[in-house]
Amino acid sequence: MTRERRRHGGPEQRPPPPSSRRARPPQREWSRVVLVAILSCLIGFGAFAYSGYRKWSLGVKVVTLHPSPPILPPNSSFPHSSPDLFWGSYRPQVYFGMKTRSARSVVTGSYNHLVALCPGLQHITDVVRGSLTDRFIHPSGGPGGNRRRYFGVDVYNPPPQPEHSQIIVHQITMALPFQAEFLFESDSFVERSVHLSGNILTNELQRHQQDMAGKFRQLFRLEEKGFIPEQVTFAQAALSNMVGGMGYFYGSSLVQSRHNPEPVAYPLAPLFTAVPSRSFFPRGFLWDEGFHLLLIARWDPALAWQSLAHWLDLMNADGWIPREQILGPEARSKVPSEFVIQWNENANPPTLFLALRQLLAGGNVPSEGRQILRRAFPRLQTWYNWFNETQSGPLPYTYRWRGRDKDTLRFLNPKTLTSGLDDYPRASHPSDDERHVDLRCWMALASDVMADISDLLGVDGGSYKESRSVLADNALLDRLHWFERLGAYADYGNHTQNVALEWERPRPYPGQDPRSVPPPRLIRVVKKTPKLQYVGALGYVSLFPFLLQLLSPDSPKLGRILEQIRDSDKLWTPYGIRSLSRSSPIYMQRNTEHDPPYWRGPIWINMNYLAVRALHYYSQQEGPHRERASSVYRELRINLIANLFRQYKETGFLWEQYNDQTGRGQGCHPFTGWSSLIVLIMAEEY
């Protein structure tokens, strides 16, 4: 019966064969596989997301400003905060331009350039830079008659007219000589008893001139040092052009890091700064500004504190400050495209510590300066740490400039623009083994100033004092950088002096069209394999331990450096100390076909100022070299003053550099940046 029910109840259920049971995993194993797959996907997605986020965060960090509160509040330059400085000639890039210290200012200017719009001629700009050349002069009226300057354009098409214009052009035509007054007044200021024009303006100008002359006489006392009125006027002109050339800029730099595939815009920011040259370099340069502030701080410490604060407020979260401030399209139009982008691994000499040393001199810091210093200290700490983290050398307490040119085929000696000394000879083959003595000395100065600021603010400065002690250790300095054969301090790296620029003239292969043959080019030929050694180049870099006063007054190395300075076959000239010894193989050598010598012989006033200052210091210290330092000091000071005054009388300008053979000014002009330090040399203010 049981068998019957089974038969009628449907087919008999039989267990699957053993092989089938093995082919179908239990539900638990399937769940484990799915879970592992999901976890793998999540981990992969998380890693991908983290990688993307990290890449984004590293890329955006270059344009992330320092997290500490700004040193200057956003309205610090507004009229209610500093009314006397709100309006000014803050447009150094034009011959005369007025604006306010604000982001959106009315801009005025007088121009001596023409702009023409016509077919095939987009615009003519900067046609006139001082006076038109003779080919633009029409000799009407015959010999001795009036000469008229002219510029002609065949066709003129007016540009499209906007609905609402933001520019006012006022043209006047008058016979030379003439004077004209332009008065700008706000409608909102109605309670005005007199207008600043006519005799009122003349009297105000005379009063300010008298005040300036009186302050200049009191501060610098040049008459008491025996300078004639003409020399005093020269010094006043140098100072006036330095201070009068200060500009107020607003905009953003273009920056890039290795984490950015393309340049990115830095945050919009203001900058109140002096400029090296109003005609050629009308923008802020980090390494120049430290020298500018030495003179500005002597004239008006408040201006120096403000400029210093503006520069430090440009610092990003890592502690990097873009070394060249090209803010906005107007400034960018003056700079070759290859120099516009600022790379965040590239430093510049921290010369702001020179200015801080001057502002802290004697410990008599005004309350405004002390407040700025307290707010600036976190940024100074980050800046100092950034140098130690990014510019460190291969050995402890050594340093290496980043950003050297890597194309060893094009350059006789690859440039080091980041050092400020551009084509000054370094190791012939850039490598990570380099040790740069000038950067080590800058960091010794920075450590010293940071230690003093810590004491002034009452904060712990133990690490800065330790670094100061180590970097000022003359024995360690000698072990790392003294080159006995040169008789001076030197860089170290992968180097050979046996290099030369030679013409490479490609030959056409059989059947090649001669017109398609590449033109000849000047390339570097290495005639001896480089090796790790000291760089035998005697010049400004060799002098840095002396220039920044790191040498002990009784150091035997100091005596040898003084002999090198005073040797006419090496560094000494009747016009100042040349940048590179005449005995150097690279002295006055071109770096490329189109790159003439820059820091390879000419005389630079910023370095000569440091030399005069150091000589004055060592002439006041007890030691075996005191008399020698005093003698060289007197000679060098007289030579510098005499030559710069003579060149000013002949040309009407201060110059970027001076020829070491003739003393003549060369480079760009007017250069009333650090060349204006001649005022401090005349006044013996160090």
Active site residues: 422, 656
The Cα 175–Cα 76 span in angstroms is: 44
> Which residues have CB under 8 Å from 464's CB, separation 6+?
384, 447, 448, 450, 451, 454
Task: Using alpha carbons, select from 658, 633, 638 the residue that is nearest to residue 648.
Answer: 658
The Cα 681–Cα 686 span in angstroms is: 8
Eight-class DSSP state of 1: -
The Cα 550–Cα 538 span in angstroms is: 18
> Which residues have CB under 8 Å from 605's CB, separation 6+?
576, 640, 644, 657, 658, 674, 675, 677, 678
Task: Using alpha carbons, select from 560, 499, 420 the residue that is nearest to residue 571.
Answer: 560
Please give the full DSSP string across 257-317, using - where no structure is assigned. -TT-SS-EEPPPEEEEE--SBTTTB-SEEHHHHHHHHHHHHHH-HHHHHHHHHHHHTT-BT
> Which residues have CB under 8 Å from 640's CB, separation 6+?
575, 576, 605, 608, 612, 678, 681
Eight-class DSSP state of 161: P
The Cα 262–Cα 63 span in angstroms is: 13
143 token code pair: 């010999």
Please give the full DSSP string across 66-112, using - where no structure is assigned. PSSPPSS-TTTTSTTT-HHHHEE---TTSSEEEEESSSS---EEE--
β-bridge partners, 271? 249
The Cα 6–Cα 8 span in angstroms is: 6
What does the chain come to in residues? 686
The Cα 177–Cα 17 span in angstroms is: 118
Identify whether the C-beta of residue 317 lies closer than 8 Å to the C-beta of residue 67. yes
Identify whether the C-beta of residue 568 lies closer than 8 Å to the C-beta of residue 501. no
The Cα 226–Cα 646 span in angstroms is: 17
Give the SS3 label for residue 193: coil
Identify whether the C-beta of residue 666 lies closer than 8 Å to the C-beta of residue 659. yes
Identify whether the C-beta of residue 663 lies closer than 8 Å to the C-beta of residue 602. no
Q: What backbone phi and psi angles, to 5 degrees, belong to 69?
A: -60, 145
278 token code pair: 């109003």
Identify whether the C-beta of residue 611 lies closer than 8 Å to the C-beta of residue 684. no
Q: Which runs of consecutive H residues, i.e. helices, occur in 472-571?
A: 474-481, 544-547, 556-566
Identify whether the C-beta of residue 247 lies closer than 8 Å to the C-beta of residue 334. no
- In 10 A of CB 589, how many CB atoms? 19
Identify whether the C-beta of residue 352 lies closer than 8 Å to the C-beta of residue 384. no
For residues 525, 582, 654 and 247, what is the CA-based torsion angle, rounded to 10 degrees? Answer: 50
Residue given tokens 């006012």 in the structure block: 168
Cα radius of gyration (the chain): 33
> Which residues have CB under 8 Å from 468's CB, separation 6+?
444, 447, 448, 451
Give the SS3 label for residue 660: coil
